[in-house]
Structure 1
């Protein structure tokens, strides 16, 4: 059971911490920095698009925003938990790679997916912040992964 806990709980727990750090950073910055990325808007657009596809009415904007944040936390937790595929000694490099890949994807994919480019590409600073903040999430994940792997649970 101990090995199972470290195998599953360490990556999931560290992925959750990285996702929370990223979401707190996004949500705080969007209130303070005019050019901040708007991952929440991308999430809301994605939910609306899926609901329109299945002929369902999306919720009002406040509730839709909550859904988007929940979806961001869940998907980023699962994504960052891929750190569990690395050896603990390689966690920093793996976390950085996961963060950079997610950031580049968050800048490059919304347009082709029909979600618009403004939320993450409005200005060069917006794109840089997007990539940087996903990198921060990956680095938080890496630090948490190394720490959790050392715990005895």
Structure 2
């Protein structure tokens, strides 16, 4: 596992999930609202720490930041599979999507309607995270290939220099 490619890939996957959510919600009133679920989680965290829940625009920014950070860390784990990070990322994405769909219903504090109210929301939520996981794995694979080429080129140069000496 390479730390640089894992973090970069994890961030790319997190951005993919967030962008999908932000784009689709603008064009489809029945789209899942991962952003609202995230805001509920952040509001609950503020209340748990006896902190005042910030105004809506600040809450949105905090939730967006928390989502990007937590999804980056989560998708970075796909880098543990050096040979097929896309497969690992996709599988992790499916698990994250299913968690986003079904975990709120198990909690009294979160509103399950944001991601699990309809079959369409369930499928789209899971698809967002699946795509994010595959994007994470693809970026990891791409960076690893670039690093391998760079290292291979450096090794060839050293061999040539040693042969000339």
With normalisation by structure 1, the TM-score equals 0.91
Aligned to 1:3: none
Q: Secondary structure at the match of 1:99?
A: helix
* Contact residue 79 and residue 137 of structure 2 kept, 8 A: no
- The reply to whether residue 72 of structure 1 matches residue 67 of structure 2 is yes
1:144 equivalent among 131, 139, 142: 139
**For residues 42-98 of structure 1, what are the alpha-carbon distances to aligned partners after superposition, in whole Å with 9 as ceiling and x for unaligned?**
1111111111122211110011001111111000000000012112x2222111101
Residue 49 (structure 1) aligned with residue 44 (structure 2): yes
Structure with max Cα Rg: 2
Counterpart contact for 1:35–1:122, Cα < 8 Å:
no
Match of 1:103 in 2: 97
The list of structure 1 runs, each at least 4 consecutive aligned residues, that deviate by more than 4 angstroms after superposition, is: none
TM-score under structure 2 length normalisation: 0.85
Q: Is 1:131 matched up with 2:98?
A: no
- Structure 1: where are the runs of 5+ without partners? 1-5
The residue that corresponds to 1:94 in the other structure is 88
Task: Give CA-to-partner distance per residue, 1:83-118, whole Å, 9 cap, x none.
Answer: 12112x222211110110111111011122321210
1:28 matched to 2:23? yes
Size of the aligned set, in residue pairs, is 147
* Structure 2: segments with no counterpart, 5+ residues: 151-165
